[in-house]
């Protein structure tokens, strides 16, 4: 390619005058193409940067406007309205865009901490006259439902009203609604009331068709997490434990509802057994399950009349999101501190996230707490079905270090504190559980699928190997040999023995006693109390009171670990993306989601597992 040139030449004309000429060669087509493309790309990048900067400024402006708006100021003569349509998690994240159609930020979960704090504050807030429960389907585990219900009963002690309305009530929703002064329902609606059922999907037939060999080593005849891959139906041991567990949870729920509705437990069980509400919904009022049939407008007018608001005037209904931003929670005063450390989700090796426990991350938080000289006690809030046995042992050891540093350690159990969740709880100075907490499950297992036959028979893929030692390809695609199986079983047996020792030392029981109530068996909190696995029944506040008493302090402030993230930190957070994907999958799969989730846990599991065999949610 020739170079461009720019030449200036002077020419003498016939009349003797001179004239200057300039010759310029234009740029080549290829050079022009690259210049245009580069210029366009640079312009696009600059425009994107400017637009992003302006978007951030707009976002900050919106949040500043929201923060200074009147939406956080509660008007007098208001009602706190709880809908609880989203899943209830341990800790909520402030949503500054609540009630606005903002697509880029979606906080699709409600925090149990926010519900309890709001009800406690509303009880003494003169602007809040009562609570309206606008319920349909409440997705939560039994212990969470029980905690919210207890908070509603405590709120009623203030003398303020609690009313419930629903077009349709799920069983979980009605359990909460039954705590209200009056329960209203749409005359064409439904109240789901049929008792609890645990249904498990088994995959042995599918696995056999695919020629997959599922190799299992376990300790504990009740350790049923592996049964779906080995059997076509429940084992007798699993059926026994689920029967006892289901009856314990349902008995607690029925007793609570019967007391609030002034009915007998026999009456309520008769309604469930006979399906009377499905046969004729008029029975809902006739039998005292509900108080009155109302359409939504009638319920709204009822609330207006209760508050002395005229029919054409606005009823001040305050959402949970709005109300939670209107006050600061009283965390106490004093130089002494009690640290609340949240341990929520599966237990994994390495770093954790908002939805899982990592031994590295959680141990860092425990160390931060016990190295603070002002922290006198630690309350470990556990809501975990377990996971990695090794990670559980590492966390257990860090709690031993906390006790050696002079800190009192108390465990508060939420929905689950089972298997690995119980492992990290058992050495506490005291354990407080909800009556319907799922705990125990003292047992371990390992599951190693072999897909060699599947590859050969279904895909025509064969394997060959070169190895330096006899077992170099152990835990690969091929089936285990008898010697390898025996070695792995020895490893699992040793892990189970260590688990028994930890519980024995922590709870003051013999290893034989622990083994007799262990074997992987899951217990409710009420049954665990009778067995000596927990010390008392109660909620997080009760656990804090126990910790303060053990530490010998009555003036203290509460500090939380890990520090709750601000909403902005969650906008582009990987954990948020995973939660949203999980929520979308849950929505699409519905009742099949627990099965999908169980399969995902097994696929991701590494090493020996101390994991609970089921997840229980009452819709």
Q: Which residues contact 103 (CB under 8 A, 6 or more apart)?
A: none
Does 51 share its domain with 108? no
For a pLDDT cut of 90, what percent of the chain falls above it?
64
pLDDT in tens, 324-340: 999 998 888 889 999 99
Annotated catalytic, 353? no
Residue 72 has a CB neighbour count (10 Å cut-off) of 14
b/e 438-458 (16+ beta carbons within 10 angstroms → b):
bbbbbbbbbbbbbbbebbeee
Do 170 and 21 lie in one domain? The reply is no
CA pair distance 181, 301, nearest whole angstrom: 17
- Range in 31-35, 64-68, 337-341 the model is least confident about: 64-68
For the chain, what percent of residues have pLDDT higher than 70? 78
Give the C-alpha separation, 603 to 345, whole Å. Answer: 17
Q: Each residue of 491-541: pLDDT tens digit?
A: 999 999 999 999 999 999 999 999 999 999 999 999 999 999 999 999 999
Residue 594 lies in a domain: no
Q: Residue 104: pLDDT above 50?
A: no
pLDDT of residue 491: 92
- 32 pLDDT above the threshold of 90: no
| Residue 583 is assigned to a structural domain of this protein | no
**CB 74 within 8 Å of CB 280:** no
Phi, psi of 177 (to 5 degrees): -60, -35
CA distance to 107, 203, 387, per residue, from 238 (Å): 37, 16, 19
**How large is the average pLDDT for residues 150-156?**
98
Q: pLDDT at position 72, please?
A: 67
- Which has the higher per-residue pLDDT, 97 or 518? 518
346 membership: H or E segment, kind and range: strand 346-348
Q: Under DSSP, is residue 293 helix (H, G, I), strand (E, B) or coil?
A: strand
Beta-bridged to residue 141, according to DSSP, are: none
* Same-domain pairing of 128 and 104: yes
Domain count, the chain: 3
At 42 the pLDDT is: 66
Which of 156, 223, 252, 376 is the catalytic position?
223
> 347: which 2 tokens?
């237990």
Q: Is the pLDDT of residue 80 over 70?
A: yes
Residue 457 pLDDT class (50, 70, 90 cuts): very high
| The domain boundary residue, chosen from 18, 34, 68 | 68
Please tell me the predicted confidence (pLDDT) of residue 103.
43
**Are 116 and 159 found together in one domain?**
yes
Q: Counting every residue, how long is the chain?
A: 619
pLDDT of residue 132 exceeding 90, the answer is yes
Assign residue 133 the CATH number of its domain: 3.90.226.10
Q: Which residues contact 71 (CB under 8 A, 6 or more apart)?
A: 99, 322, 325
More confident residue, 72 or 135: 135
Domain that holds residue 104: 72-194+275-324
Q: What pLDDT is attached to residue 464? A: 92
Same domain, 302 and 429: no
Q: What is the pTM of this model?
A: 0.83
Selection from 198, 196, 522, 580 nearest residue 385 by Cα: 522
**301 and 435 assigned to the same domain:** no
> Where is average pLDDT lowest: 316-320, 454-458, 497-501?
454-458
Better pLDDT: 445 or 259: 259
Establish if 593 belongs to a structural domain.
no
Q: Are residues 186 and 50 in the same domain?
A: no
Mean pLDDT of the chain: 86
At residue 70, the pLDDT reads: 44
Greater confidence (434 vs 104) lies with: 434
- Boundary of a domain, candidates 68, 93, 113: 68
Q: Which candidate, 573, 571, 563, places its Cα nearest to that of 62?
A: 571
Q: Are residues 11 and 119 in the same domain?
A: no
Residue 564 burial by CB count (10 A; 0-12/13-18/19+): exposed, middle or buried? middle
User: Tell me: the pLDDT tens digits for 161-196?
Assistant: 999 999 999 999 999 999 999 999 999 999 999 999
Per residue in 458-468, pLDDT tens?
999 999 999 99
Give per-residue burial for 222-261: e unless 16+ CB within 10 Å, then b.
bbbbbbbbbeeebeebbeebbeebbebbbbbbbebbbebb
Q: Is the pLDDT of residue 215 over 50?
A: yes
Whether residue 237 lies inside any domain: the answer is: no
Instruction: Please name every residue paired with 78 in a beta bridge, in sequence order, or none if there are none.
Output: 128
- Across the range 295-320, mean pLDDT stands at 94
pLDDT of residue 357: 95
Whole-number pLDDT of residue 567: 55
Does 156 share its domain with 120? yes
* Active-site residue identified among 132, 141, 356, 419: 419
Answer whether residue 282 shows pLDDT above 60. Answer: yes
Rounded-to-5 percentages of helix, strand, coil across the chain? 45, 20, 35
What is the three-class DSSP state of 430? strand
Under the banding of pLDDT at 50, 70 and 90, the label for residue 482 is very high
The pLDDT-based confidence of 229 (bands split at 50, 70, 90) is confident
Domain assignment of residue 503, yes or no = yes
Specify whether 351 is catalytic.
Answer: no
């Amino acid at each position: 390619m020739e170079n461009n040139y720019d030449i200036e030449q002077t020419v003498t004309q016939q009349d003797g005058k001179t004239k200057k000429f300039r010759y310029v060669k234009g740029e080549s087509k290829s050079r022009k193409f690259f210049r245009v493309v580069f210029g366009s790309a640079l312009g696009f990048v600059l425009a994107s940067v400017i637009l992003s900067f302006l978007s951030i400024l707009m976002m900050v402006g919106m949040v500043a406007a929201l923060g200074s708006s009147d939406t956080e100021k509660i008007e007098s003569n208001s009602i706190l309205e709880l809908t609880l349509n989203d899943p209830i998690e341990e800790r909520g994240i402030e949503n500054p865009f609540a009630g606005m159609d903002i697509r880029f930020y979606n906080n699709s979960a409600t925090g149990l901490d926010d519900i309890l704090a709001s009800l406690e504050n509303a009880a003494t807030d003169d602007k809040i006259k009562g609570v309206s429960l606008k319920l349909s389907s409440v997705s939560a585990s039994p212990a969470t439902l029980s905690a919210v219900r207890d908070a509603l009963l405590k709120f009623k002690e203030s003398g303020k009203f609690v009313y419930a309305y629903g077009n349709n009530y799920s069983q979980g929703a009605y359990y909460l609604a039954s705590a209200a002064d009056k329960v209203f329902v749409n005359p064409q609606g439904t109240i789901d009331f049929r008792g609890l059922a645990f249904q498990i999907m088994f995959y042995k037939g599918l696995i056999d068709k695919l020629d997959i060999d599922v190799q299992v080593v376990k300790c504990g005849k009740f350790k049923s997490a592996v049964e779906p891959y080995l059997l076509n139906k429940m084992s007798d041991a699993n059926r026994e434990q689920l029967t006892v567990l289901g009856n314990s949870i349902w008995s607690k729920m029925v007793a609570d509802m019967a007391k609030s509705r002034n009915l007998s437990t026999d009456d309520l069980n008769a309604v469930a057994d006979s399906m009377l509400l499905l046969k004729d919904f008029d029975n809902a009022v006739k039998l005292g399950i509900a108080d009155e049939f109302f359409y939504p407008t009638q319920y709204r007018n009822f609330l207006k009349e209760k508050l002395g608001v005229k029919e054409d005037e606005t009823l001040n209904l305050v959402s949970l999101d709005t109300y939670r931003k209107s006050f600061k929670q009283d965390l106490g005063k004093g130089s002494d501190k009690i640290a609340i450390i949240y341990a929520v989700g599966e237990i994994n090796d390495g770093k954790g996230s908002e939805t899982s426990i990592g031994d590295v991350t959680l141990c860092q938080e425990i160390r931060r707490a016990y190295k603070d000289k002002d922290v006198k006690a630690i309350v470990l809030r556990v809501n975990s079905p377990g996971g990695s046995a090794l990670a559980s042992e590492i966390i257990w050891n860090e709690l031993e270090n906390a006790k050696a540093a002079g800190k009192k350690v108390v465990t508060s159990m939420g929905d689950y504190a089972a298997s690995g969740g119980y492992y990290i709880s058992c050495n506490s100075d005291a354990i407080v559980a909800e009556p319907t907490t799922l705990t125990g499950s003292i047992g371990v297992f390992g599951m190693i699928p072999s897909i060699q036959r599947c590859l050969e028979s279904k895909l025509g893929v064969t394997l060959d190997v070169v190895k330096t030692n006899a077992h170099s390809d152990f835990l690969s695609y091929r089936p285990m040999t008898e010697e390898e199986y025996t070695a792995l079983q020895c490893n699992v047996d040793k892990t189970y023995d260590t688990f028994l020792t930890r519980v024995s030392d922590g709870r003051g029981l013999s290893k034989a006693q622990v083994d007799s109530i262990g074997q992987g068996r899951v217990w409710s909190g009420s049954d665990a109390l009778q067995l000596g696995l927990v010390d008392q029944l109660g909620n997080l506040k009760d656990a804090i009171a126990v910790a303060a008493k053990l530490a010998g302090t009555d003036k203290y402030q509460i500090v939380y670990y890990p520090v709750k993230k601000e909403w902005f930190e969650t906008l582009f957070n990987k954990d948020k993306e995973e939660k949203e994907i999980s929520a979308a999958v849950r929505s699409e799969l519905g009742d099949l989601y627990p099965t999908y989730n169980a399969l995902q846990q097994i696929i991701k599991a590494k090493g020996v597992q101390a994991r609970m065999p089921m997840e229980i949610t009452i819709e």
